[in-house]
Amino acid sequence: MSSYRVKETPGDTAWFHADRFGMFIHWGLYALPARHEWIKTRECIPEEKYQKYFDHFDPDLYDAKEWAKMAKAAGMKYAVLTTKHHEGFCLFDSQYTDYKCTNTPAGRDLVKEFVDAFRAEGLKIGFYYSLIDWHHPHFPIDMLHPRRNDLDAQEQNKTRNMKIYAQYMRDQVTELLTNYGKIDILWFDFSYPNNKPELGKEWMKGKGKEDWEAEQLIATARSLQPHLIIDNRADIEQDLWTPEQYQIDEWLRHPKTGELLTWEACQTFSGSWGYYRDETSWKSPEMLIRMLVNTVSCGGNLLMNVGPTARGEFDYRAKDALKVFEDWMHGNSRSIYNCTMAEPELLKCLPPDCRFTQSTDGKRLYLHIFSYPFSHILLKGLAGKVEYAQFLHDGSEILMDEGQVDHFSEGAAKGDDLLVLNLPVIKPPVHVPVIELFLK
Ligand code: GLC
């Protein structure tokens, strides 16, 4: 059994640690301008002008069943959808606002279709809910808000009452956790209490737990669905730590107690979260697979984002990227599901340019080869500990030697504890080849 103990938290994280891989979906009105989900505030677009995206939101090709099939095929076990992003637009039929998809040409509750389709494919369901809201009339203008440069911004704030907005969030979270059955993850986003406003504009201060009334908000959520995994971005520690667009190289630990944490890296295919037509920074297939492997090798999950188009589809580049995961996971998912960071003793044997994961029953060690070497991998310290070795993708045997490479390999490492894996010269056609080691 894996010897790692993860810090206990209120939500049910057992399935999460086993499932490891999920799909993030950022979808909203920003899919129409198709140049970043923050466009409303980046370009300080006034409400009247942003309205055109609402009026033209017509995702006629949206087929949640297709999305769910693609997520499942890619090996993803859960999905987190933006029910509302910072722009304030709701993808669900909320009774507390008119700013929702049912009032656009879409005319349907898009969250409902998502939930039904993904659940039918056996995926767990997560809701992203933005704490920030650049549409709500009671959300006070701050340094991130599209109205921040208005000459009368401070004046406008006099009619904005954060308490009303905090109640709005509780009401909407109640709807989300009442009308759609069992929800597994609630992903709040995000707090910025320490953002410093410009000199002389102190009233524009950032927002944190007091502003959101986060304690009450979380209590509301837990009273409806106690098992929920809730992230930390409401500025109160909950179940989930969420490093964003960053690759971790050690299991995240609690900054005060040092305990191991439940964590999830979120990553994009190309940089932005919403659909960005002209973005050219799409990650290579190798990089995508390495991110997944690296994450699990440090005891974490990967939440990989797709930004669907305004027509309601995954664009061709996103489909290609999902196919990369599909092909790799088809033969290699055994090194991901129910796997975690290898035990410390084994980690000491990790060769260069490789990552280990280990099954949580402790019986199998997976060696992921990031940079394919010529003919041998030397595992110092593993001699006598491995019963059998094979490539995971095709189950073909990897011959092993112990003690030394062979008698002509002058200068090579030797020693009783040395295990030598003999590789074919040609790298198999797998972005990251995996060797499965059956431990004695
Ligand atoms: C950031 C961004 C946001 C994105 C999120 C995903 O907080 O504000 O656009 O939704 O990260 O982690």
**What type of residue is 150?**
D
Q: Whose CA is nearest to atom 10 of ligand 1?
A: 273
Q: With cut-offs at 50, 70 and 90, classify the pLDDT of residue 410.
A: confident
392 assigned to some structural domain: yes
> Look-up: residue for tokens 């995971």?
392
115 assigned to some structural domain: yes
Summarised one tens digit per residue, pLDDT across range 186-202 is 999 999 999 999 888 99
6 assigned to some structural domain: no
Atom of ligand 1 nearest to the CA of 128: 10
Assess whether 223 and 351 both reside in one domain. no
Assess whether 167 and 190 both reside in one domain. yes
Helices 110-120 and 64-73 cross at an angle (nearest 10°) of: 40
Domain of 427 in residue numbering reads as 342-439
Atom of ligand 1 nearest to the CA of 272: 9
56 assigned to some structural domain: yes
9 assigned to some structural domain: no
Torsion sign across C-alpha atoms 130, 135, 141, 145: positive
Separation of 146 CA from ligand 1 center, angstroms? 16
Atom of ligand 1 nearest to the CA of 189: 7
Atom of ligand 1 nearest to the CA of 305: 6
390 assigned to some structural domain: yes
- Alpha carbons within 13 angstroms on the beta-carbon side of residue 293 total 25
Which residues does 124 contact at the CB level (< 8 Å), separation at least 6? Answer: 15, 19, 22, 77, 78, 79, 184, 185
Distances (CA, A) of 131 to 87, 159, 166, 285, 344: 10, 19, 9, 33, 39
Contact 168, 138 (CB under 8 A): yes
Summarised one tens digit per residue, pLDDT across range 246-299 is 999 999 999 999 999 999 999 999 999 999 999 999 999 999 999 999 999 999
Q: Whose CA is nearest to atom 4 of ligand 1?
A: 273
Summarised one tens digit per residue, pLDDT across range 22-62 is 999 999 999 999 999 999 999 999 999 999 999 999 999 99
Q: Whose CA is nearest to atom 3 of ligand 1?
A: 273
Q: Total domain count for the chain?
A: 2
Separation of 189 CA from ligand 1 center, angstroms? 7
211 assigned to some structural domain: yes
Task: Kindly state the percentage of the chain with pLDDT values over 70.
Answer: 99
Separation of 272 CA from ligand 1 center, angstroms? 9
Q: For residues 112 and 301, what is the distance between their CA atoms, to the nearest angstrom?
A: 25
> What CATH number should be reported for the domain holding residue 262?
3.20.20.80
Summarised one tens digit per residue, pLDDT across range 129-162 is 999 999 999 999 999 999 999 999 999 999 999 9
Q: What angle do CA 401, 373, 434 make, to 5 degrees?
A: 75
Assess whether 322 and 278 both reside in one domain. yes
Assess whether 46 and 94 both reside in one domain. yes
> What CATH number should be reported for the domain holding residue 389?
2.60.40.1180
Atom of ligand 1 nearest to the CA of 233: 7
Q: Which of 191, 244, 279 should be mutated for ligand 1, with most atoms under 8 A from CB?
A: 244
Give the residue from 281, 312, 337 where a domain finishes.
337
Assess whether 62 and 177 both reside in one domain. yes
Separation of 271 CA from ligand 1 center, angstroms? 11
Which residues does 145 contact at the CB level (< 8 Å), separation at least 6? Answer: 41, 134, 139, 153
Assess whether 323 and 348 both reside in one domain. no
Residue 212 near ligand 1, beta carbon < 6 Å? no
